[in-house]
Amino acid sequence: MQPAPQTLGRRERNKQEKLDRITAAARELFTQYGVDEVTTQQVAEKADVGSGTLFLYAKTKAELLLLVHNAKYAQALDAGVAAAAAEVAVLDAVMAIIRPIIECNRVQIENGRSYLREIVFGDPAEPHHAEALSLTTRTEAAIAEVLGRDKKLLARDPEKLARIVSAIMFVSMASSATIDMTDAQVGDEIRDQISVLLGA
């Protein structure tokens, strides 16, 4: 007989409820005004918590951005992995993983670019930064699994190829040169570069 599922105590429920309010407030303000135009005080006021409480969940505005975008990135990655399972061609499957990530990252382009910079240059000791790095690792693992379907690519080390694909994706989404492009155009540019890498 399986043990009954554990329910959260009142303290844990209160913490989760505050985290949910902070995340929702930050997401709404960042989307509406852009991360650069929003203060942590504004987020605290919108979430109806004190500044001290806010800093228990995210010590900086950069951590708030990571908190918000990590949740969106995780959903996009899950959707992409599911879509990749239905694709036969390796390149199509890789792009099935990447496309939802492009779309979620470019909902508010400057926020997405700031998020990518934080992943690369932020403090890995911060919990939301560590989570972002974990999502990057999961993305690379999903891409490596797809690349491993092809025997020729299997011989070329799918894990290393996946890291290069990840770098292509990051640079293409963060670059000033792609700001005015549509999501589809950014995806096409990434696909072209990956095609050269894989010899497709």
Which among 197, 175, 198 is positioned nearest to 105, based on CA atoms? Answer: 175
> Considering just the CA atoms, what is the radius of gyration of the chain in Å?
19
Closest by CA to 21, choosing from 50, 46, 38, 52, is 46
pLDDT at site 104: 94
What's the confidence (pLDDT) of residue 1? 47
What is the CA 112 to chain-centroid distance, rounded? 9
Q: Are residues 46 and 80 in the same domain?
A: no
The answer to whether residue 135 is domain-embedded is yes
Same domain, 80 and 134: yes
Q: Are residues 51 and 113 in the same domain?
A: no
Structural domain including 118 reads: 60-198
Number of domains in the chain: 2
Rounded to whole angstroms, the Cα distance separating 27 from 68 reads 6
Same domain membership, residue 176 and residue 103: yes
Question: Do residues 84 and 135 share a domain?
Answer: yes
* 111 and 190 in a common domain: yes
CA distances from 66 to 13, 56, 165 (A): 22, 15, 22
Tokens linked to 114: 């700031």
Residue 47's CATH number: 1.10.10.60
Residue 1 is assigned to a structural domain of this protein? no
Q: Are residues 64 and 30 in the same domain?
A: no
What is the chain's pLDDT, residue by residue, as a tens digit (200 residues)? 455 555 668 888 888 899 999 999 999 999 999 999 999 999 999 999 998 999 889 888 999 999 999 999 999 999 999 999 999 999 999 999 999 999 999 989 999 999 999 999 988 888 999 999 999 999 999 999 999 999 999 999 999 999 999 999 999 999 999 999 999 999 999 999 999 999 96
Residue 183 lies inside a defined structural domain of this protein? yes
Looking up tokens 């303290």 gives 11
Q: What is the pTM of this model?
A: 0.86
pLDDT on residue 200: 67
Q: Does residue 3 belong to any structural domain of this protein?
A: no
Q: Are residues 38 and 86 in the same domain?
A: no
